[in-house]
Amino acid sequence: MRALSVATVVAALSGFFILFAATWTLSATDASVFLAYWGLFFALTGCIDGVMQETTRAVSAKESKPGFQRARHGARPILVGAGIGLVIAAVVLVTAPLWMGAMTGDFVTGATMLFAAGLASYAVQAVVAGAVSGTKAWLPFAWLVAVDSLIRVVVVVAAWWAGWGVHVFFIATVIGAFTWLGLVAGSPATRAALRRRADVTVPMFLRQTVTAMAATGATALLITGFPAFMKATADESIIVLPSSVAGGEHTVTLAALMLAVMLTRAPILVPLQRFQPALIVRFVEGQQVRRVLLKPALILGAVTAVGAAAAWLVGPWILRLVFAPEMFVPGAVLAMLTIAAGATGMVMITGCFALATGQHRRYVAGWAVASAVAFGCLALPINLVATTVLALITGPVAGIATHLLALPSPRHTKSRFTPAGQQAQPAP
C-alpha cells in the first residue's frame, strides 16, 4: 500500500505539471485546444474506469471467497475489456467528423486516430488494473499508476525543451494508456492475474460492467464536467461576494471560481480515485460491514477537515503567489469548496461499497442522483459562488444517502457476498 500511496502522489503532481507546462509552452489558442482535448479524453477514460471497478470486484470475489458457488464458465475480463475498447474506438472514428474539428482545428485526422487508439488501449489497461487489484498485486498496480503519469511528463518535457507544437501534447495525453504493455511484458504476477476468471458468466459480467461504466460516467460528469457547466450557466463573469463571506466587499471572477473548484478537488479526489480498487477489495472481504465502511469514511473526514482549515488559512496566500490577481478567491470560499470535495469523495467510498456488495443499480443511482441534484442547483437564481458551493455539497449528500440504502441492517453484521445474480445468505 505504501507504493500505491507514492504512486497516487506522483499521479497528482504529474497532472499539475503537465497543465502548468502547457500554459507556458503553447500559445493561448493552442493551449485551449490541448486543454479541451485533455479534458474530453479523461472524461471518457473516467467512464471506462467502470471496467476496472467491475473487474476488481469480480476477480476479488472469485479468488477470496472459496465458499462461493463458482461460475463454471466465468468471464475472461481481458476479452470483454478488449471488446469494449474496440467498440469505443469504432464510435470515435465514426462520429469524430462531427465534433473533433471544432475541438482541434487543423489536426483532425491525427488527433482522431490518437484519441480512438488511446481509448481502446485504456479499456484494456482498465482490465489489467482491475485484475492486479483483485488479486492484491499492489506493487504492479502502483507501477501502472506511476508510469502512466510519468510517461506523459517525459513527453511534455521533451516538447517543452524542443519547442514542439500542440500535436505532441495530443500524444502526451494518450500515451499513458499504453502503459499496460510494459507491465504485462515484465510482470509475471500481472500475467497470472489476467488469466483469472470472473465470478459470473460473460453476459452477466458485461451487463454489470456497462452498469459500472454508467456510474463512472456520471462520476466523470460531476467531477470533470462541472466547471464547464458552471461556465455554461453563468450570467456574469464577475461575481460580487457578500461581506459575510469575503470579510468586506469583494469580487471573484468566474475563471477564478472554476480554478478554485479544480484546485480544492485535486488533493482529495485524485488519490481517492486511485485507491478505489483497494477499497472494493476491502469491502468484498469485509466481515463487519459497517465497521469496514466507517474507517475510510473517518479518514476522509479528517483529511477534509485539515484541508479545509489549510485552504482557509493559506489558500489565498498561495493563489496570490502563484496566479494572476484576477484568480484570487477568499479563504472562506476555498474552505467550503474543500468540504464539498470531501463530500464528493464520500460518494466514491459509498459507491465502492455498493459495487462490492453487488448493488450495481444502487451504485449507478447514487451517482446519477448526485449529478442531477448538483447540476439542478446551478439553475437556482442566486449568487454563483453560493450556487456552486450548494451544488457541490447537496449533490454528493444526496448520492451518499442513495448508496447507503444498500447498507445491510444491523442484524446482518457479517457480509455474505455472492456472485451477482445469486441470493446472499443471511448471517446466522
Per-residue model confidence as pLDDT tens digits over 367-401: 999 999 999 998 888 888 889 999 999 999 999 99
Strand partners, 253: 238
- Separation of alpha carbons 346 and 421, rounded Å: 27
Bridge partners, residue 251, by sequence: 240
Cα→Cα distances 401→288, 354, 398, 424, Å? 20, 12, 5, 23
The predicted model gives 151-168 an average pLDDT of 90
Average pLDDT, whole number, for the chain?
85
| Short-list 149, 134, 118, CA closest to 271 | 149
> CA distances (Å), 129 to each of 123, 142, 194, 243, 327, in order?
10, 9, 10, 48, 37
- Amino acid code (one letter) for 269: L
Q: Hey, what amino acid is at 77?
A: P
Task: Please tell me the distance from the alpha carbon of residue 4 to that of residue 392, in angstroms, as a whole number.
Answer: 28
Q: Name the least confident of 5-14, 55-64, 71-80, 402-411.
A: 402-411
User: At 136, which amino acid appears?
Assistant: K
Coarse DSSP helix, strand, coil percentages of the chain, rounded to the nearest 5 percent? 80, 5, 20
Q: Which of 66-70, 230-234, 391-395 has the highest mean pLDDT?
A: 391-395
Look up residue 252 and give its three cell numbers: 471573484
The label of the residue with cell 459470473 reads: 200
Sequence-distant (6+) residues with CB within 8 A of 337 are: 260, 261, 264, 265, 311, 388, 389, 392
Distances 338 to 48, 75, 112, 167, 276 between C-alpha atoms, Å = 26, 41, 36, 35, 20
pLDDT, residue 428, reads 36
| CA 227 – CA 259 distance, rounded (Å) | 8
The whole-number pLDDT of residue 5 equals: 82
Residue 420 pLDDT > 80: no
Rounded Cα–Cα distance for residues 188 and 181 (Å): 13
Using CB atoms within 10 A of its CB, is residue 219 exposed (0-12), middle (13-18) or buried (19+)? buried
Mean pLDDT of 196-220: 91
Least confident range of 241-250, 313-322, 368-377: 241-250
Q: Please compute the mean of the pLDDT values over residues 30-52 and round it to a whole number.
A: 86
pLDDT at 64 (0 to 100): 56
Q: CA 77, CA 128: separation in Å to the nearest integer?
A: 9
Which of 22-31, 75-84, 241-250, 327-336 is least confident?
Answer: 241-250
Mean pLDDT for the stretch of residues 110-115: 94
Residues 278, 288: Cα–Cα separation, whole Å:
17
Report residue 67's pLDDT band, with 50, 70 and 90 as the boundaries.
very low
